[in-house]
Amino acid sequence: MRIVCQRVLQAKVEVNGQTVGRIDKGLLVYLSVAKTDILKDAEFIAEKLVNLRIFPDEAGKMNRSLLDVGGAILLVSNFTLHGDCRKGRRPGFDDAAQPQLAEQLYEKVADLIAQHGVAVEKGVFGEYMHVTSTNDGPVTFLLDSSRLF
């Protein structure tokens, strides 16, 4: 599983001109599922997201987690994070999961985050979406459940 995680002041996702998810302070998370991912990967990502200390404390140091600041997550599926651009001019998606597995694990990540008491808004899996946000910092991190980076 790969994610791009952005600390935001606000974010929203629209499908066909309709807002389907919106948060204020929190994390905008783009998530891609690999064909080798299992429940353990979803658990790792959910736990990491809610506990990652990337919010400032009183001294301005990144010492607070999403749980500490009472933030929310906007979770957006994005299989292109598994696009391999190393060869040629067109990305290859051989490592991306098939839609059925990807959707199952995407929903599991959302459920696991919610079980931590964090509000979760979502995009619509498999749909063409417009995402807008105000990045805070900017603070952006890449995570991979296989710990490739």
Cα(23)–Cα(34) distance, integer angstroms: 27
Q: Scanning the structure block, which residue is given the tokens 């990967």?
A: 41
Closest CA to 129 of 72, 94, 79: 79
- pTM for the predicted model, two decimal places: 0.97
Tell me yes or no: is domain 2-144 CATH 1.10.3720.10: no
Please give the chain's pLDDT, 149 residues, in tens.
Answer: 999 999 999 999 999 999 999 999 999 999 999 999 999 999 999 999 999 999 999 999 999 999 999 999 999 999 999 999 999 999 999 999 999 999 999 999 999 999 999 999 999 999 999 999 999 999 999 999 999 88
pLDDT attached to residue 149: 83
Structure token pair of residue 142: 């890449």
The residues spanned by each domain of the chain are: 2-144
The number of beta carbons lying within 10 Å of the beta carbon of residue 112 is 20
